[in-house]
Amino acid sequence: MKVTTRAALGQLSDMDIRLLRVFTTVVDCGGMAAAELELNIGTSTVSRHIKDLETRLGLTLCRRGRAGFALTPEGEQIYAETLRLLSGVDAFRSRVDEIHQRMGGALHIAMFDKTASNPQAHIGQAIALFGAQAPDVALHLHVAPLNAIERGVLDGQFQVGIIPGHRSSATLTYDELFSETMYLYCGAAHPLFAAAPVDEPADWDAVRAHAFAGLGYHSPNMELTQQVQLARSATGYDQESIATLILSGAFLGFLPDHYAAGFVRQGQMRSVRPATFNYECSFFGIVRASPQATRVTQTFQLCLRQAHQRV
């Protein structure tokens, strides 16, 4: 006799969507107590919603107790799938708004870290321009590594990304916005910090004698270090981690000049032969090439271009 099994969830309802939104908020906040303020409901209610969702799915999504909050392997998969689902729901709502000739819903923008201090970056001005044209759109601004931004734009988690250019993809469209200069830095405890200019490395062969900290994913940083055959002795995954490694005094590393300027003023690091060891990095606004971007996304793209063309 053939035995059939029924999916634990069955028909997806509005209540399920609400429970999934509560679940993602709990994960993003790092626990139920932390999500209480974000959701504006009590911890006991948050806990009950998560339990209801687990019952609906027939899965244990997270562990909670004295050891803290942690997702189960099944919870991690449901979280990833929920992000995709909610992104689709938001996109549907945006399309409906477009049919009604209005701009509403949510817009998720992801940008590479440490761009706010770049005087050439005018993302704030673009947001102001966009807010004047689409006041009913809820903005969500994220900071993420370059590869996570590209992946998020492609899977719909983010509608717009702002990243340093490193390689192009036919599945994305690019608008060049601004640039920054990267210099090689050493910390105050590094042997090169007090070295006379004549004793600084004169070429990449000399730099290889020192431990180097670089980014651990494909980026202009990785492209350059591969080109000059500069091996990483330590790996960081954002500018903050590279700066921390430099400040340790154990490593050389590249940072944007605008971000490193504060450390330099405080005598915590300095550039190493800046006329030689530097490179330019261009930043781009990215969106998915297909399907066609929503009116909300296109409006923000235009605001980005306008903000940076004014300079």
Q: 10 Å Cβ neighbour count for 249?
A: 16
What does pLDDT average to over the chain?
A: 89
What percentage of the chain has pLDDT greater than the value 90? 59
Highest mean pLDDT of the ranges 168-172, 183-187, 228-232 = 183-187
6 has pLDDT over 50: no
pLDDT band at 279 (very low <50, low <70, confident <90, very high): very high
Please give the pLDDT value at position 3: 42
CATH 3.40.190.290 fits 103-311, yes or no: yes
Question: Six-digit token pair at 259?
Answer: 């971000």
129 has pLDDT over 60: yes
What's the angle, vertex CA 164, arms to CA 159 and CA 167, rounded to 5? 90
Greater model confidence, 212 or 88: 212
Residue range 229-263, pLDDT digits in tens: 999 999 999 999 999 999 999 999 999 999 999 99
Topology of domain 7-102, CATH = Arc Repressor Mutant, subunit A (1.10.10)
CATH 3.40.190.290 residue ranges of the chain are: 103-311
CATH 1.10.10.10 residue ranges of the chain are: 7-102
For residues 193 and 210, give the distance between their C-alpha atoms in angstroms, rounded to a whole number: 13
Please give the pLDDT value at position 99: 62
